[in-house]
Amino acid sequence: MQLRYAFRLYPNAGQRTALARAFGCARMVFNDAVRAREDARKAGQPFPAAGELSRKLITEAKRTAARSWLGEVSAVVLQQSLRDAEAAYRNFFASLKHTRKGPRTGPPRFKSRKDARQSVRFTANARWTITDSGRLSLPKIGAVKVKWSRTLPATPSSDTVVKDAADRYFASFVIDTDPATDQARMPHTDQTVGIDLGLTHFAVLSDGTKIDSPRFLRRAEKKLKKAQQKLSRKQKGSKNRAKARLKVARAHAKIADARREFHHQLSTKLISENQGIAVEDLSVAGLARTRLAKSVHDAGWASFLSMLEYKASRYGRVLVKTGRFEPTSQTCSTCGIKDGPKPLSVREWTCTACGTVHDRDTNAAINVKTAAGLAASACGAPVRPGAIPAQREETGSHGFPTGNRAA
């Protein structure tokens, strides 16, 4: 499995200028590739091949006065930008043919220097290195200070330098993990658990444990509101507006970092303690269109379930998703009788058949576990995780990647 290990960077003034130049050059090559393909489409001609684009937009462009500054950055950065454009078009065409999973993807758009996220990628042939003093040496940028929160378990295959909306820099390394080593970190256990996700309590487990929802956005709304009000009063294009925008971005980043850290801690705890985990296959996108949209987004269920999925695959655990239409809140977990729908205001109810008094959420968590087939044994659960793309490991400083907790 591939994972991303990301760490905070602290470039000096000169290195920030060099990185800005690299971001701009990569963005320009990407836009030139999109423009070349759009021109070919409008002219009714076949799309130019990747090799032809590389020759025209990079090799020959460097020799012209209008694009001579492309030679001031690493050629690998420019080649990777072309690869990104190729991948964007492949995803777009696969989406049109309905061969790509997930929501429909639109055609590639032109990138702007005002985009919230800027990035460049260095592969192994770019000859970037980690110095003896622990700095990240990047071609034509220099040795950048890094805050290492842990050692890299293997040699990275690539390094992506990212600048986010809060004006923070991160180095994201792609690492190929060793399955045997990963599974040795999490010994086998006979414990299984069912999880019922909610808003009042973020998660209720089948053993009766209730985990409160931190509500990071709700708790920070007052401070965030003031920052946004100050931003709205600043004149557009002024330096004061840029400073106010940065304060809003940092406030949002702080909320996102805290939420991600909470998800990582909880998902790692559940994975380490249980061999089998059962969850509901929630329609988060549908719930986010209801009157509870802000609370649903604040909870971040989709991010949490994604973490559970890749960690279960990494450490040899079993994750089973039950159907979203399973009547877990209506069925008595003791006798199995379906007692009918109940409004959300009903938090406890008594089964009319056996007389058992149920906590609504705990009963639902038990039914989720039963419906997933984990009530008896986790080993026999019919699940085989498929290929999972590179995920963000919970390493590095707070920010773009995640928090400081170990998996």
- pTM for this model (two decimals): 0.86
CA distances from 192 to 27, 93, 381 (A): 48, 42, 11
Q: Is the pLDDT of residue 405 over 70?
A: no
Tens digits of residue pLDDT in 109-139 = 999 999 989 999 999 999 999 999 999 999 9
Domain with CATH 3.30.420 in the chain: 187-217+264-383
Average pLDDT over residues 14-27: 97
DSSP 259-285: HHHHHHHHHHHHHHH-SEEEEE---HH
- Hunting for tokens 């705990």 — which residue is that? 362
Given a contact cutoff of 8 angstroms between Cβ atoms, the answer to whether 365 and 326 are in contact is: no
pLDDT for position 392: 59
pLDDT of 331-377, one tens digit each? 898 888 888 888 888 888 888 888 888 888 999 999 999 988 875 54
- Beta carbons of 396 and 402 less than 8 angstroms apart: yes
For residues 108 and 89, the answer to whether their CB atoms sit within 8 Å is yes
d(C-alpha 253, C-alpha 402), whole Å: 11
What string of H, E and C letters represents the secondary structure of 33-75?
HHHHHHHHHHCCCCCCCHHHHHHHHHHCHHHCCCCHHHHHCCH
Q: Give the residue numbers annotated as catalytic, written as ranges.
A: 196, 280, 361
Alpha carbon 175 to chain centroid, angstroms: 16
CB atoms within 10 A of CB 172: 22
- CA 177/CA 60 separation, integer angstroms: 40
Task: Look at the block and give the residue holding tokens 């590639």.
Answer: 108
Percent of the chain with pLDDT over 90: 69
CATH number of the structural domain 187-217+264-383: 3.30.420
